[in-house]
Structure 1
Amino acid sequence: MPAINASRQHGLLDLPALRKRAKRLLNALNNHQAEDAREQLRTLGLPGPDYRLADTQWLVAREAGFASWPKLKAHADAVAFAARHPGFAADDEATVQHWRCGNDIARNLRTAGFAGAFQMFDDPMVMGPVPALPEERYWRVRGDYVQQAFNLRAEDVEQRQAAQRAALAGLSTDSKLVLWCEADAYDQLFLIRVLASLPGLPRRLELIEADQVPGVERFIGIGQLAPDLLAWLWPQRRALGEDALALARQAWAAYTAPAPQAWAALAGQQHTALPLLGRALARQLQELPGANDGLSLTERLLLGVLASRGELPAGRVFGQLMMQDDPLPYLGDLMFHVLLQPLIHAPQPLLLEGPGEAWAQRPLRLTALAEQVLAGKAHWLDHNPAQRWVGGVLINAADRPWVVSEQGEVWQRT
């Protein structure tokens, strides 16, 4: 089913192909074939033996993630209409700055017909120290971390930081900007970082935010969507006001603080001004050491993949984490590679890495200690793990580190 499978990744439905599939299914059923489809229709309350095209269209719609064929068609028509009539000129889009936490939609924005300026702010604030410091010191800390963790040239890091700092410094009450975000912590931290940096409410401040897209099986990012879907999202943007700026400043201060109590309090709330923020803060809070095992949620999940499936290439572990296991995935592949290193190279490691030309091809397997930690017979913080940061919180196993329960309660381990 290539038309269905492709559309469930990028969201752009191929209606002619889906109609043909429904007709082929109907012919197969009438020729006493397609037993799987027949069984699905029986489960849906259509025992047959005679079927109509509407029945197989219903089945095709359900396979594509819709409740019915009319709902599938209505969504496809809405996307097509948005692509043909984007309304960019009426919205004065050409004078807008489009802000995004990466360059994943820059090309598709142009393809879809957007004409405004594009601004990337891609500091991965889900990783490494994000402390509450004066701007100069803050950027130096972030630059040092990114350079070391990702093995980048100092000149490249400085150049990228300079562009992002200049873009932030250029924002004013006369600015017109639209921010494009999804629900994960990477994006939501980008959102509060930019909003908290604003000197006041700009002339135009709008947010395009998505945590799901109809027909997309596993929506993990706006960057996976076809260009026409960006045009479809455009009319769904909404204006942000002073309440969003105040919440962003509060959340940014909480995330960068050396203790996570204020962060944990925000993570447990629903925020009307920024409705996806609470869940993202709660997911990121689980990157603190778990009270029961000392593992972050990401570490626990990736170890769990290997525990259930045995030795696997690192790329396969990453794929399962992103597409199945993580409740709110936020990692890129290189970020995942960085996260693996302390688990492999610790004095008492949790992972053993086999040979391979590229890191994603190298097989990973659990050590005996990892199996004990997963079984609740050992605690990772008792085995000298590397010092690490989550937001402004420094985690040093030897110095009463902050830990988190599954329910999001935080305290210092004694």
Structure 2
Amino acid sequence: MLHIVNGDSVGDKLRLSRIEGDILVWREVYSFGPVFPDMNEDELQFRAQYLARTLGIPAAEFVEGCNSQEEQLRGIHQHEDVVLWFEHDLFDQTMLAYLLHQLFKQSLGDTRVHLLCIGEFPGIEPFHGLGQLSVEQLETLEGTWRKIGKDEFALGSAIWQAYASSKVEDHLAVVCMNTSALPYAHTAFTHHLARFPFAFNGLGIVEQTILELVSDGVTTPAELFRQTGDRLHVLGMGDVEFGHWLRRMLQQPHALLELQDTGQLNEVSLDAPLPPRNSTIMITALGRSVLTGEHDWITIAGIDQWYGGLHLQGPIDWRWDSREGRLRTPQ
């Protein structure tokens, strides 16, 4: 049996458990940065350079790791049973869609593929993911997975191709699909769309949430990350990605936030993704005017951001309507 899991924390605990089988930790963050339907070598290199620049992930190590795990995925038919361990958030749902897309193209032979995907666990509140569970708690999930077939593979492949598309209409199509075969997909990809600039003020849901929290008095980096993660747990955002959004909001000359009680911001780094612990984060005058909708941040600062396969640049016609919970189409 092979277990494909969503991170090292889960993989390490499974190795300590009584659950038998080999473990493949899938290390990617498809919810951030550019992705492409099948990601050839040039596209993988492009993604690697983007992640190095924005998150501090070493490009060569990233490419080597991706190629290694892809090779292992191609050998999946050597196992009689494969279990995919995932959860409800966008981080996991993009990863799950990608894996189902890749497996959909393979000849699996007699290999049986099973899915364990949860959005809650007794006694864990708020539930962020499998990494919160102890070894003993993970063991209680043994055998609760279900065998999946053509419906899940076809749906996962369709979701991935839409998410990796450069056409906004394809991204919209995901939340219109019948996603009952993958019940957490609809909510996760609705939150994906909520990352688009708001019609109200040009912020996405991450920036909006951060500004609201700072305005309400949450001023330390660690606490700001914790509370943002609690509010936006459906995104599954880690501290490295959170650090990227924070840096963008601190960037001059159109900063929405500013650091006090510290020197300059650290360089982009996996080891120190957040500002120094003794920093105080405050909202700027521009931040307040954007938060109230007096100014539109995209109009002032522009945008150059990837959401899946969609590259948002320049004037943005498509805006997220937070009241109606949908993307507003161009007039």
Aligned equivalent of 1:341:
247
Counterpart of 1:138 (choices 43, 52, 75) is 43
2:229 is the counterpart of 1:322? yes
Contact kept in structure 1, 2:2 and 2:79, CA below 8 Å: no
2:58 is the counterpart of 1:153? yes
Deviations 1:246-265 (A, max 9, x none): 10111011101112223223
Structure whose alpha-carbon radius of gyration is higher: 1
Counterpart CA distance in 2 for 1:207 and 1:247 is 14
The structure carrying a bigger helix percent of its residues is 1
- Superposition deviation, residue 412 in structure 1: 5.8
Q: How does 1:227-306 map to 2 (within 5 A)?
A: 227-268=135-176, 271-306=179-214
Distance change (3 Å), C-alpha of 1:346 and 1:133 = farther
Aligned equivalent of 2:305:
388
Aligned residue identity for 2:44:
W
Count, aligned residues: 316
Aligned residue identity for 2:147:
A
Aligned residue identity for 2:152:
A
Counterpart CA distance in 2 for 1:190 and 1:326 is 18
Aligned residue identity for 2:59:
A
Aligned equivalent of 2:269:
none
Counterpart CA distance in 1 for 2:173 and 2:33 is 22
Question: Residue 282 of structure 2 aligns to a residue in which SS?
Answer: strand
Question: Residue 235 of structure 1 aligns to a residue in which SS?
Answer: coil
Aligned equivalent of 1:46:
none
Aligned residue identity for 2:84:
L
Counterpart CA distance in 1 for 2:36 and 2:228 is 28
In the alignment, structure 2 segments of 5+ residues that lack a partner are 267-271
Counterpart of 1:402 (choices 307, 318, 326) is 318
Contact kept in structure 1, 2:89 and 2:233, CA below 8 Å: no
- Superposition deviation, residue 386 in structure 1: 4.2
Contact kept in structure 1, 2:45 and 2:63, CA below 8 Å: no
2:101 is the counterpart of 1:193? no
Distance change (3 Å), C-alpha of 1:134 and 1:314 = closer
2:289 is the counterpart of 1:372? yes
In the alignment, structure 1 segments of 5+ residues that lack a partner are 1-95
Aligned equivalent of 1:225:
133
Counterpart CA distance in 2 for 1:170 and 1:401 is 44
Distance change (3 Å), C-alpha of 1:318 and 1:374 = same
- Superposition deviation, residue 329 in structure 1: 4.2
Aligned equivalent of 1:115:
20
Contact kept in structure 1, 2:191 and 2:235, CA below 8 Å: no
Aligned residue identity for 1:291:
A
Computed over aligned residues only, the root mean square deviation of the Cα atoms, in angstroms, reads: 2.2
Contact kept in structure 2, 1:404 and 1:410, CA below 8 Å: yes
Flag the structure with more relative contact order, 1 or 2, with Cα contacts below 8 A and sequence separation at least 6. 2
Counterpart CA distance in 1 for 2:288 and 2:38 is 39
Distance change (3 Å), C-alpha of 1:166 and 1:132 = same
Counterpart CA distance in 2 for 1:254 and 1:158 is 24
Counterpart CA distance in 1 for 2:316 and 2:330 is 5
Contact kept in structure 1, 2:51 and 2:59, CA below 8 Å: no
Q: TM-score, normalised by structure 2?
A: 0.88
Question: Residue 394 of structure 1 aligns to a residue in which SS?
Answer: strand
Aligned equivalent of 1:209:
117
Deviations 1:192-240 (A, max 9, x none): 1000001247321111111011121211010110111111112211111
2:15 is the counterpart of 1:99? no
Question: Residue 29 of structure 2 aligns to a residue in which SS?
Answer: coil
Counterpart CA distance in 2 for 1:299 and 1:123 is 23
Distance change (3 Å), C-alpha of 1:388 and 1:184 = same
Q: How does 1:170-181 map to 2 (within 5 A)?
A: 170-172=75-77, 176-181=81-86
Contact kept in structure 2, 1:350 and 1:366, CA below 8 Å: yes
Question: Residue 179 of structure 1 aligns to a residue in which SS?
Answer: strand
Aligned residue identity for 2:143:
P
Contact kept in structure 2, 1:172 and 1:200, CA below 8 Å: no
Counterpart CA distance in 2 for 1:133 and 1:195 is 12
- Superposition deviation, residue 410 in structure 1: 2.6
Counterpart of 2:217 (choices 309, 325, 335) is 309
Counterpart CA distance in 1 for 2:93 and 2:328 is 24
